[in-house]
Structure 1
């Protein structure tokens, strides 16, 4: 039987509409909850809507339900897909990957590989692009799954933000870390460790030093190799443009595949003023 493969990502993977269209990537939306009701990330709410309601209103998020994911996967099977590759953010940051894994077991006739990236945002989403690119090149399903496993630690995403207040409110960091950074006016460079848990790469003062440190770490991760790069921002488009120009000078071997604002679900937990930089060696 001929394979018909589809790549899926949850909305916390930050795969923008441009990439979704180019690579035929489907997205399972996370829910964003306000007092008046729930919204689906990237469907009926965008990050600008979230930023406009800060700091007066800080919503919460919830993962898609088992029923929603099962229905989503059943729909793919009805479209004629025989194989599915689901790319999901770290299980330490979201329960979505476990929901997808459970729902996939209930969908007969759709062979689904669920990939826990142990990362967040486009640090996860880049694996969806990588897998979808292999699909377009005609690589068989099992080989794509194997290649994903081989590249598990090749995604390097680092970011900083103007304030850690939103990470603290979301339970992502402790009060002590928040207070030290706030009092000393520090901007921690944050990434995910191999287990998919946030950790501090470095602590610097001011946006200029933060950008410089991001580039330093990115260059080290690239190691002179050809790579994909991505620049992300959270309500700081100008800052994103600035670091993109710096990346082009510092990493001439890097191909920028995505430069955009983070999704609404991630904006909820990080607040405004975020700058992120991804390096993915090829």
Structure 2
């Protein structure tokens, strides 16, 4: 009889409570400061990252080998026979390979690593879909067959209040970033089919960027029913208002507000507003 464990990393932005409720096993990413190293969601929060940005912008790294090994050892000791690990986009992080190396040390576990080719709560939506299938009694093979469709049904868009942290983190060139800052450009960012960031629009000013994001959501809703999650990075008031403006749109099945994790906080800075969209068949 199969006993299936779902494993993911903290880039999925699911809360610890949600992961516990859905029997999802976490390998947290690392948030690294000059004074020490922390594990996302375990001993550091996004609020703590935001509060420290003026003094130091941390770097981020994949889950430690020690943590991956501990998680898999606990899974094996609990009698699980199969593992499905769902990682943040392989194009953005070495987490996929960290899972692969750790699983090689557990040959008694039948395992697969699924590259979500996405990041943030969109990744979390895929993880939750896999967990629901486990709870519904679906087989390991059935879940693996469904995961590519689950990925096709999810898309995310993000707009930032500042380009400062992308520039400092090396995500965009200093010259391009400086020009963008000078012109008050606010890019609308998504991820392409290969799992890398791409800009689909550049507008001037915060008001226009949120208006463009709202317009993109409405375009998706013309294609059918969707579940929506508004993602806010230290922008609770704006995020709440944005969410309320989505509630009564045609084809909205549900809409929720969620806070981004420490890893996203480190790279986007204060004021990120995003949307995770899941098409519902």
TM over 0.5: yes
Higher mean displacement: 19-28 or 8-17: 19-28
- Structure 1 residue 252 displacement after superposition: 4.2
| Native 8 Å contact 1:9 1:15 kept in 2 | no
1:51-104 deviations in whole A, cap 9, x for unaligned?
111122111112123343123112111111111221111112111111102211
Higher mean displacement: 13-22 or 88-97: 13-22
- Structure 1 residue 142 displacement after superposition: 0.7
Relative distance call for 1:251 and 1:124 in structure 2 (3 A) is farther
1:194-224 deviations in whole A, cap 9, x for unaligned?
1111110111122222222112212323444
Please say if 1:166 is aligned against 2:143: no
Q: Residue in 2 aligned with 1:267? A: 265
Please say if 1:89 is aligned against 2:98: no
TM-score by length of 2: 0.94
SS, match of residue 245 in structure 2: helix
Higher mean displacement: 184-193 or 23-32: 23-32
Structure 1 runs of 4+ aligned residues shifted over 6 Å read none
1:176-207 deviations in whole A, cap 9, x for unaligned?
33123211101100111111111101111222
Q: Residue in 2 aligned with 1:213? A: 212
Relative distance call for 1:54 and 1:265 in structure 2 (3 A) is same
- Structure 1 residue 123 displacement after superposition: 1.8
Q: Residue in 2 aligned with 1:106? A: 105
- Structure 1 residue 22 displacement after superposition: 2.9
After superposition, the CA RMSD in angstroms is 1.6
Relative distance call for 1:251 and 1:79 in structure 2 (3 A) is farther
Q: Residue in 2 aligned with 1:240? A: 239
| Native 8 Å contact 1:218 1:278 kept in 2 | no
Please say if 1:3 is aligned against 2:2: yes
Q: Residue in 2 aligned with 1:119? A: 118
> What is the alpha-carbon distance in structure 2 between the residues aligned to residue 182 and residue 64 of structure 1?
33
Q: Residue in 2 aligned with 1:155? A: 154
- Structure 1 residue 254 displacement after superposition: 2.7
Q: Residue in 1 aligned with 2:180? A: 181
Relative distance call for 1:20 and 1:94 in structure 2 (3 A) is same
SS, match of residue 220 in structure 2: helix
> What is the alpha-carbon distance in structure 2 between the residues aligned to residue 149 and residue 131 of structure 1?
11
> What is the alpha-carbon distance in structure 1 between the residues aligned to residue 39 and residue 115 of structure 2?
22
- Structure 1 residue 277 displacement after superposition: 0.4
TM-score by length of 1: 0.94
| Native 8 Å contact 1:87 1:125 kept in 2 | no
Structure 1, unpaired ranges of 5+ = none
- Structure 1 residue 274 displacement after superposition: 0.4
| Native 8 Å contact 1:153 1:194 kept in 2 | no
SS, match of residue 247 in structure 1: coil
Q: Residue in 1 aligned with 2:68? A: 69
> What is the alpha-carbon distance in structure 1 between the residues aligned to residue 250 and residue 189 of structure 2?
21
Structure 2, unpaired ranges of 5+ = none
